[in-house]
C-alpha cells in the first residue's frame, strides 16, 4: 500500500516542503513518483519518517540523523534505542517541570517579601532541564535556518551554549512578566524583546518578514515548542506569536 504525500502530511504533521527537503538531502526518498509527478510513500518510508521525527524531537540535527539511520541494520534494535532516548527525554521533562514548579513557589515568596529569588530556587537553577534542542525544535519547518544554527553551535563550547540558553530562557521569563502585567504585545517593552530576538536571528541568516511571521506562528502550532512556552507561563506561546506579528507589521513592513 502506498500513500500520497498529502496523506503523509496529514498523518505526520510534517509539511510537504519538509518532506521534499528530506528527499533533496538524501534522508527520506519517496517509494516512487507517479507519472503525474506526485510522490508516494510505502510502509518502509513511513517507518523511516517515524524514526526521523523521533530523533528530531530528541534534538538531533539532520546530518546526525542521517548518520544514525545509515548505521542502523535491525529496525527492532533501532526502536529500542529510540525508546531509551525517549525515556531519557521524559526524565529531562520531569526535571524541567520541577524547575518551573520551584520557580513559581520562589516568585510567589519573593513578591511577598519584595525581593528577588534568594531562597528555594537560586537563579542559577532556573535553567535546570532546559536544553538548546528544545529551542531548535521550533525550527523544524525552517530547515535552512535550523542547519545554519546547528553549524554555528557545533563550533561553540558547552559554556557558550549554556550562556546563550540562559539568555534565551531569561528572555522568555521577561516576556511572561510583561504578559502577566497586562502589557499589550505591540507596546514598547514587548517590542524591544522581539527586536532583540529578530536581531539574533539575522545574525545567523537573513530572515524576511513572512518567514519571521511563520516562526512566530510556530510558537503555537508546533506542539513541542508551544509546550516550552506554556511551561514558563500559560498563554505565553500566543503572546509571543502576537508580539512577532506586531513587530513584523510595524518594523518590517
Crossing angle for the helix pair 43-57 and 5-12, nearest 10 degrees? 40
DSSP string, 133-170: HHHHGGGTT-HHHHHHHHHHHTTS-HHHHHHHHHHHHH
pLDDT of residue 74: 65
Is the pTM here over 0.75, yes or no? no
What is the pLDDT at residue 54?
79
- Give the pLDDT confidence score for residue 124 in this predicted structure: 41
Please count the CA atoms within 13 angstroms of the CA of 137 that sit on its side-chain side: 24
- Mean pLDDT for each consecutive 10-residue tract of the chain (253 residues)? 91 90 93 91 89 77 82 68 75 66 63 50 43 54 75 73 72 84 90 91 85 88 78 85 93 81
In this structure, are residues 8 and 41 in contact, taking their beta carbons and an 8 Å threshold? yes
- How far is the C-alpha of 104 from the C-alpha of 81, rounded, in Å? 35
Nearest to 247 by CA among 209, 221, 211, 215: 209
The answer to whether 41 touches 30, Cβ cutoff 8 Å, is yes
CB within 8 Å of 214: residues ≥ 6 apart: 141, 142
Q: Where are the beta strands (DSSP E) in the chain?
A: 2-4, 32-33, 39-42
Predicted local distance difference test score (pLDDT) of residue 70: 83
Domains and CATH numbers, the chain: 2-72 (1.10.1660.10), 82-121 (no CATH), 130-252 (no CATH)
User: 222, 233 in Cβ contact below 8 A?
Assistant: no
| pLDDT recorded at residue 238 | 92
Amino acid at each position: 500500500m502506498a500513500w500520497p504525500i498529502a496523506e503523509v502530511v496529514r498523518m505526520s504533521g510534517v509539511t510537504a516542503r519538509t518532506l521534499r527537503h528530506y528527499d533533496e538531502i538524501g534522508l527520506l526518498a519517496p517509494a516512487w513518483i507517479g507519472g503525474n509527478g506526485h510522490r508516494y510513500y510505502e510502509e518502509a518510508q513511513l517507518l523511516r519518517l517515524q524514526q526521523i521525527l523521533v530523533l528530531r524531537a530528541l534534538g538531533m540535527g539532520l546530518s546526525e540523523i542521517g548518520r544514525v539511520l545509515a548505521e542502523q541494520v535491525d529496525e527492532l534494535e533501532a526502536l529500542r534505542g529510540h525508546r531509551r532516548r525517549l525515556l531519557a527525554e521524559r526524565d529531562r521533562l520531569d526535571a524541567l517541570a520541577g524547575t518551573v514548579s520551584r520557580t513559581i513557589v520562589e516568585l510567589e515568596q519573593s513578591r511577598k517579601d519584595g525581593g528577588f529569588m534568594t531562597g528555594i530556587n537560586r537563579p542559577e537553577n532556573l535553567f535546570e532541564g532546559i536544553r538548546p534542542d528544545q529551542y531548535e525544535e521550533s525550527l523544524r519547518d525552517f530547515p535552512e535556518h535550523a542547519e545554519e544554527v546547528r553549524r554555528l553551535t557545533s563550533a561553540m563550547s558547552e559554556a557558550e551554549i549554556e550562556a546563550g540558553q540562559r539568555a534565551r530562557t531569561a528572555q522568555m521569563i521577561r516576556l511572561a512578566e510583561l504578559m502577566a502585567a497586562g502589557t499589550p504585545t505591540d507596546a514598547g517593552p514587548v517590542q524591544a524583546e522581539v527586536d532583540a530576538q529578530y536581531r539574533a536571528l539575522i545574525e545567523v541568516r537573513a530572515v524576511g518578514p513572512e518567514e519571521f511571521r511563520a516562526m512566530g506562528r510556530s510558537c503555537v502550532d508546533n506542539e513541542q515548542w508551544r509546550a516550552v512556552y506554556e511551561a514558563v507561563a500559560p498563554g505565553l506561546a500566543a503572546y509571543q506569536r502576537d508580539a512577532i506579528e506586531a513587530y513584523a507589521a510595524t518594523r518590517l513592513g
